[in-house]
Amino acid sequence: MSQNDPLDAGQPAVPAGLPVVVLGATGFVGRHVCRAFAAAGARVVGVARNAPPSGDAFRPVLLDLAEAGPGRLARLLADERAEVVVNAAGAVWGVTEEQLRAGNVELTRRLVDAVAASGRRPRLVHLGSVHEYGRVAPRVGITEDLVPDPVNPYGRSKLLGSQAVLGAARDGLVDAVVLRVVNVYGPDAPRGSLLGMIACHLAAVSRARAAGLPAPVLRLSPLRAHRDFVDVRDVADAVVAAARAELDGSGPDVRLVNIGGGTALDVRRLVERLIELGGLDARVVEEQTGGGQRGDVEWQQVDISRARRLLGWSPRRPMEQSLRDLLATAG
């Protein structure tokens, strides 16, 4: 989490020097997970294909996870004496179905095999996605008991990965928990996300006007959806909480936990508020573009009762803070 985050002091503590290995450590969520564990007192090893920016709160291990087999991953976990393993790696939007399967299914299965063979029994925290659920009726809070029925390739690939983790946990092969996470925003949100794209567009508008150039127009698909959002730093807090939660004897079903804001936000209003906070008269045009991978789910709101009960977790960052911090980090 950032040094300026006033909620840093509330980060759950872990045993000093707890060995934590985070896969996907240079990604949007992974970097914040590493920072949260480091702030809580853990010894963090971040695994990624590329070197991290200087100043990140982990010791980097450069490894192409797409090429690393279970044996290589198991040796890494054994060498680091990992007690917690976080899977924040994987493929997201804008890639092929083959890449989605490689990043979200095959990598996860190899990681499960590696954790099972590592010689220790680390807690595996796997980051799933709300898109695993698919369509739900409006104004219905999604509980973990809902039978998943994803409607796009991303959701299907994430579901297969989550099922691999949950299946291994039920069989007693690994000590694992899956966090099914809603749409994530906040500082450093990537350009590939809706709000990250808009924040970057606002930065471009500001630069254009400073140079006396015409401001670019932002064209978006119709903003009809209501979606659940959660700050990336709250997600990181949930991961830390999941790493330390007492799950033995709780039954296999509680190994799946929703992480979200618990509220369906009007996406159009959210976009308008982000633009207002940017202080720019940016022009946005909504136009039908033939749909998209995410546009086929109009309502998302998760029930976070299990997260409160099992992890002692609930989101703490208000929407206004998340949007302001997003704007402050957009380039």
Provide the annotated active-site residues: 154
The DSSP letter of residue 27 is S
In which residue are the tokens 């990043």 written?
103
∠ Cα 243 247 248 (to 5°): 130
Phi and psi at 264, nearest 5°, equal -90, 115
Rg of the chain taking only CA atoms, in angstroms: 19
Sequence-separated (6 or more) residues with CB below 8 Å from residue 212 = none
Residues 159, 146: contact at Cβ < 8 Å?
Answer: no
- Distance in angstroms (rounded) separating the CA atoms of residues 25 and 15: 21
Query: Contact, 325 vs 186, CB < 8 A?
Result: yes
Helix residue spans in 171-244 (DSSP H)? 194-210, 232-244
Q: Where are the alpha helices (DSSP H) in the chain?
A: 28-39, 70-79, 97-101, 107-116, 153-170, 194-210, 232-244, 267-278, 305-306, 319-329
